[in-house]
Amino acid sequence: MKSELKTKEYRLPIGTYPDALKAALVLTKEEKYQEAGILLNATLNTIVTEEKIVPLPILRAERMLEEVETLVN
């Protein structure tokens, strides 16, 4: 809709990435490049995507209320 603001937020699960990178480094040192690639791809698939939809009329009303607050004080 035209009256909505859509955003996507991507998050990396910080707990899993350091361990996966260390394991991939070990695999590359052992020249197991394919296994390292599979591990890294599997880790990338753990990215969490969150889509937020905010109706613009509500967003505008909130901004107007904030502006009124600053004018009143």
Tens digit of each residue's pLDDT (9 = 90 or more) over 3-16: 999 999 998 888 88
Cα(40)–Cα(22) distance, integer angstroms: 10
pLDDT of residue 37: 96
The range of the structural domain enclosing residue 31 comes to 4-72
Of 44 and 34, the one with more pLDDT:
34
Domain count, the chain: 1
β-pair type (4-11, 48-55): antiparallel
Q: Is the pLDDT reported for residue 63 higher than 70?
A: yes
**H or E element that contains 28:** helix 17-29
Torsions phi, psi for 57 (to 5 deg): -60, -40
